[in-house]
Amino acid sequence: MTPDEYVDEVLALVERIPPGRVMAYGAIAEYLAERSGRVSARRIGSIMARYGGAVAWHRVVASDGRLVSPSRAEARNLLEREGTPMRAGGVDMPRAAWWPEDG
């Protein structure tokens, strides 16, 4: 799998996250590791920083629900508009966390 294809895999997965749900960087890394091998949460963050603008970047959050994007204010708006379960400091992960096999 080439680096370009790998980036496509990440973006494609982010696109699959339904409105009102989110995925953590670490969860994305863990899921993709099953098919492509080496992957780290750190690398997902790096890819989102470079190519995230093309997808639903606001549906990707830190593992504890914090919004770590440079534009977290906008992310919060979009998430609330989608009906994402929120709590002080970010997303309510137990209720909002999504995994591909969920749907």
Partner DNA sequence: GGGGTGACCCAGT
Partner DNA sequence: TACTGGGCCACCC
Binding residues (CB under 7 A) for DNA: these are 3, 24-27, 38-46, 48-49, 52-53, 57, 60, 62-64, 68-70, 88-89
Tell me the C-alpha distance between 70 and 67, whole Å: 9
Return the closest-CA partner of residue 10 out of 19, 18, 22, 25: 25
Nearer Cβ to DNA (46/77): 46
Nearest approach, Cβ of 74 to DNA (angstroms)? 10
Helix (H) / strand (E) element for 5: namely: helix 3-16
Angle between helices 41-51 and 3-16 (to 10 degrees): 90
Tokens 């995994």, residue located: 99
Nearest approach, Cβ of 81 to DNA (angstroms)? 17
Nearer Cβ to DNA (64/83): 64
Nearest approach, Cβ of 79 to DNA (angstroms)? 12
Nearer Cβ to DNA (18/63): 63
